[in-house]
Amino acid sequence: MNYDRFAAAYDEVLGRRYHAAVVPRLLREFRRMKIYPPGRALDAGCGSGMLAAFLRDRGFTVFGLDLSLGMLLPARERCLQVFQASMAAFALREPVDAVLCLYDSINHMVEAEAVRAAFDCFHRALRPGGRLVMDTNNAWAFKHVFGSPQPYESEGEEGTVKMETAFDPATGLARARVTGTWGGARLEDELVERYYPRTELRQWLHETGFRGVRVEGWSPGRAYGGREVKDFWTATRPA
């Protein structure tokens, strides 16, 4: 996976659509968990920083991290406090009230040990009583979205993008080949995700020390006929 080459087109092709769907859901969770400005949040896998900028503009103190330098460039243009790091190997100087790991960022970690290491980093980043909020792609999404023979195509003012996908149930790995042109430049990238069952993720969260783990199916918008294609998770670092 290398989002560096896809970064220029990401917001228009995928990011804005997901952002519009996840913001109302996230704000409901913040109200339920009593997290309000000027609360501190870490956006792990922040990408271009669209969500982090939204929260900052509403009074939150937000930090972001991402492994892709290409994705962090627009985040820095948004004047965000971001740094390049793996979700499986980072530490904060001061704890936060909430760790966000959205946009199926966990699925982009294709090794189970990396996911468990990320959960440990999230736990250490939170203050006692702090909350983790994340989403993951579910089994249906891997089988019918990544496994679809029909490519996803997007056309905008800056160019065109095609994503050809495939899913291997034996390995749990899904691949998306991204091609096209954007801003006058040739675009070519490959993205990889892994399916993780709810039972595994729940177990790893508990083993890390999280409690109050909640998960439910979620449909981010009208795509796929409103079918639930994601799992939406919350968990707490005990006080």
Q: State the pLDDT at residue 1.
A: 47
The mean pLDDT value for 87-93 works out to 97
pLDDT in tens, 157-170: 889 999 999 999 99
The mean pLDDT value for 76-95 works out to 96
- DSSP symbols for 186-236: EEEEEEEEE---HHHHHHHHHHHT-EEEEEEEE--SSGGGG---EEEEEEE
Q: State the pLDDT at residue 84.
A: 97
Q: If you average pLDDT over every residue of the chain, what do you get?
A: 94
Strand pairing class (185-194; 211-218): unpaired
pLDDT in tens, 158-205: 899 999 999 999 999 999 999 999 988 898 999 999 999 999 999 999
For residue 82, pLDDT beyond 80: yes
DSSP state letter for 102: -
Q: Class of 7-138+196-236 per CATH?
A: alpha beta
- For residue 2, name the pLDDT band (cuts at 50, 70, 90): low
Domain boundaries, the chain: 7-138+196-236, 141-192
Note if the pTM is more than 0.85: yes
The mean pLDDT value for 19-23 works out to 93
Closest listed residue to residue 98, CA positions, set 48, 53, 52, 50? 52
Q: How many CA atoms lie within 13 A of 154 on its CB side?
A: 20
205 neighbors 117 (Cβ within 8 angstroms)? no
